[in-house]
Amino acid sequence: MRRILIIDDEEDIREVAALSLEATAGWQILTACSGAEGIDVAIAEQPDAILMDVMMPGVDGPTTFRTMQTLPAINAIPVLLLTAKVQGVDQRRFANLGVAAVLFKPFDPLTLAQQICNELDWPDAIS
């Protein structure tokens, strides 16, 4: 069973994404409401992937990702950024960070797991 860490400051987004991934793919979901908490959870739990919001108060997603890349315990975990920013310049900036993928809000809860599988070259989420 895949284990996914969702890092987002908005409780509603965490909840919808978690319920979606649990219901459609049967994955185990871990959550964190900030980048710092997310790093702690990632180190302790070693998820298979991290779905992280770009815009968070305090430390944003890209800054959190750069910190994660300096930590040997978690720097190999694929990170997918979740953003409402769909401008080409933003997409290029996020892609240049080295994240596994950039997914867009609002996302379709019914296809989110399959999107993650497609981006990470995992077998289909829904069997």
In a domain, 125, yes or no: no
pLDDT value of residue 88: 66
The CATH number linked to 52 is 3.40.50.2300
Residue type, 14: R
Report whether 101 contacts 80 (CB < 8 A).
yes
Q: Domain tally for the chain?
A: 1
In a domain, 122, yes or no: no
Q: Which long-range contacts (CB under 8 A, 24 or more apart) does 85-89 make?
A: 85/54, 85/55
Q: C-alpha distances in angstroms, 113 versus 18, 64, 74?
A: 10, 23, 22
pLDDT value of residue 43: 98
In a domain, 25, yes or no: yes
Q: How far apart are CA 42 and CA 38, in angstroms?
A: 6
In a domain, 80, yes or no: yes
In a domain, 109, yes or no: yes
Domain that holds residue 78: 3-115
In a domain, 103, yes or no: yes
In a domain, 63, yes or no: yes
pLDDT value of residue 57: 93
pLDDT value of residue 86: 66
pLDDT value of residue 118: 95
In a domain, 121, yes or no: no
- In a structure prediction context, what are the per-residue pLDDT tens digits for the chain, which is 127 residues long? 999 999 999 999 999 999 999 999 999 999 999 999 999 999 999 999 999 999 999 999 999 999 999 999 999 999 999 988 666 666 677 778 899 998 988 999 999 999 999 999 999 876 5
pLDDT value of residue 93: 75
